[in-house]
Chains A and B, each alone.
Chain A
């Protein structure tokens, strides 16, 4: 059974730092790209960052670029999000999600999307 378990969420002061972790199990972790997606209270989903399976290519939303750093440790089946210079608008539930990659049927290929999600880690930025 695929499981993604986030940890590290807490209350932090504006300007502070925090590191989220996501422990993966039930699948071959280094076969898949991974992403972080956040959801502010009562709001929609916002993709935050993604990383390829070897960990040498990363992507960021403009809203977090140069403040957040995504990384992974394939030996530990873990995904991380280092968050610096935190702002009130970073307050959200942070989900880690597996990117399912490409699926090719008999006629065509398509991107699978985010096929597994954790339950989220709550981050509150407040003084």
Chain B
């Protein structure tokens, strides 16, 4: 099974700063099947990015995704207070989904 490893585990930044979150796959995956989700405390996850780089409906353009092969990145260009949350990457392959363990983005 494909394992997704996210880094760092926790990222401490200030509003206005740039955030770079990494997701590394244990083997090459199709970028078409790589997604990113945001989860705030007490809420369900929300789809941010699909196909590695396509923003979901209503997602601000400060969120961007990139990468291919085994290395993928979620970038938040200028952090807003509402962006502090946990972020998960996800891949689909062999008829099953796998999630990374998450990166917690906290206010510094």
Chain A hits for B45, CB < 8 A: 37, 45, 95, 114, 117
CB contact under 8 A between A110 and B32, given known A117-B44, A117-B45: yes
B residues with a Cβ closer than 8 A to A are 1, 31-33, 35, 37, 39, 43-47, 50-52, 54, 56-57, 88, 90, 92, 95-102
A residues with a Cβ closer than 8 A to B are 35, 37, 44-47, 50, 59, 61-62, 95, 100, 103, 108-115, 117-120
CB contact under 8 A between A46 and B99, given known A111-B33, A113-B35: yes
CB <8 Å contact, A61 and B96 = yes
CB <8 Å contact, A103 and B46 = no
CB <8 Å contact, B44 and A119 = yes
Within 8 Å by CB of A115, from B1, B39, B56, B92, lies B56
CB contact under 8 A between A44 and B102, given known A108-B32, A112-B50: yes
Tell me, rounded to whole Å, the shortest Cβ–Cβ distance linking A16 to chain B. 26
CB <8 Å contact, B51 and A111 = yes
User: A47-B90, A59-B95, A108-B51 provided; 13 other pairs, C-beta below 8 A?
Assistant: A37-B97, A44-B88, A44-B101, A46-B99, A47-B99, A100-B47, A111-B32, A111-B35, A112-B50, A113-B47, A114-B35, A115-B56, A120-B44
